[in-house]
Amino acid sequence: MSTSARPSPTLENVRANPATGADSAQVRAQLQLREMILAGELPGGARIAELSLVEKLGVSRTPIRAALMRLEQEGLLEPLPNGGYAVRTFSERDISEAIELRGTIEGLLARLAAERGSAPVILSEARECLGQIDGVLSQSALDDESFSAYVRLNERFHALLSEMAGSSVIAKELERVASLPFASASGFVVVQTHSPGARDMLVVAQDQHRQVLDAIEQGEGSRAEAIMREHSRLAQRNLRAAVISHSTEQIPGVRLIRKRH
């Protein structure tokens, strides 16, 4: 069984464990630029000025250019006709389609994991992760700390699901889609934090986690795929709720959403 792609490193991890060689500056530049885009420091639609980034990030133009190419591949930047890049913006439909695509890819990975079989150690880690989520959801009411714990464990479970199929090619495509603003497995969980039915929706999501893991262990590929596609619809519901309640300001990268006129 091949090893699937691991999630992209975080800026904190890179700072704590600096890489050596030519890739180090490029990775740091990529992560810093991503943070700047999501924080609104580089506004949606704005042209990227390489020279100002060289000065701001303290690296040469070569790693900056490599980082910009990677961010274009991730979908955060778009090439300009006369060269260079601009920060991409997204419509609500774009976000909805990205979530749908993530659900489709995760469904494919779940089916392959069920049909091919998954390593016992990964299944064991997934069961342990779900046990920890059960612990979080055992509380009658969830506070900000509980939601943070849920987000961390939810992302861990989805990463394990990706790993189960043993397909580095498909896992890489999932990583690319999930790196878009709002398209990750926990992209809209934060919107639920203070809503009355927050815990109930997470309980539903956790039940789907249990079901898909059971389907994978039982070798039921079609069932596993259907559950993961249905699972992504919870994120679609959260997107609609966020737009209706205007609570998207809580979400990193919200400034990249094009407003309706």
Return the SS3 of 40: coil
- Name all domains of the chain by residue range, CATH numbers in brackets: 11-87 (1.10.10.10), 92-256 (1.20.120.530)
For the chain, first and last CA: distance in Å? 50
pLDDT band at 188; cut points 50, 70, 90: low
Kindly state the percentage of the chain with pLDDT values over 70: 80
259 or 212: which carries more pLDDT confidence? Answer: 212
Helix (H) or strand (E) holding 250: none
pLDDT digits 0-9 by tens, 30-47: 888 988 887 788 888 889
Helix, strand and coil in the chain, % to nearest 5: 65, 5, 30
Structure tokens at 50: 């390489």
Q: Distances in Å between the alpha carbon of 66 and those of 24, 88, 179? A: 11, 17, 17
Question: Could you give the CA distance from residue 104 to residue 199 in angstroms, rounded to a whole number?
Answer: 25
Mean pLDDT of the chain: 83
**Per-residue DSSP letters for 119-155?**
-HHHHHHHHHHHHHHHHHHTSSS--HHHHHHHHHHHH
User: Residue 11: its pLDDT value, please?
Assistant: 46
